Amino acid sequence: MLNLDSCICPYVVDSLRRLLLREGVTSALIDLDRDVGTIGRQPDGANWLVGIRYPHGSRTAIHRMKLNNACYSQRGNFERRLMINGEHFGQAFSPADGYPIPGPLSVAVAAPQALEACAAATVARFRAEQEALDWLSALNLPWLSIDRSRGCHGPLARSAGLSSAR
């Protein structure tokens, strides 16, 4: 079964960005839950900021990422993880056997287009943890991955001082 729900929102973000740019808009923030796109900076010249929450403790943003003329997509939810035999799993299941994939609980990626960010985050979520980290690193995009122990990895985690040693 192919679930198109996860690619519709980033497609809409990209489509709206193209339409607004064609109409001459120079400042905009398009926010569709886990998919965000921006045009330029805020009207007063300030950066567009996207908050990223740490999976331990407070529900507030612990890192704000500048997102000017770029897009952001987050897939997976570390708060809605499954516990099986004492192990944490995300809600990504193997099509081969139906079991949860022992991959990242959540992945966030920034990219020039929302669909690109979404695709990168989605593919990483369907890989084992170390394989996902290696694959994301090779993309040369800003990203953050939350592993099954709720540790943070990636350039966005490092810039916020959240990196877990691995």
The predicted model gives 98-124 an average pLDDT of 88
> What's the longest Cα–Cα distance across the chain?
55
Q: What are the structural domains of the chain?
A: 5-159 (3.10.520.10)
Q: Which residues are CB-contacts of 158 (< 8 A; sequence separation ≥ 6)?
A: none
Which tens digits make up the pLDDT trace of 12-71?
Answer: 999 999 999 999 999 999 998 889 999 999 999 999 998 776 555 555 555 678 999 999
Whole-number Å distance between alpha carbons of 149 and 89: 9
Where residue 161 falls among pLDDT bands split at 50, 70, 90?
Answer: low
Q: Among residues 119, 99, 102, which one has the least CA distance to residue 111?
A: 119
* Burial of 20: CB neighbours in 10 Å, binned 0-12, 13-18, 19+: middle
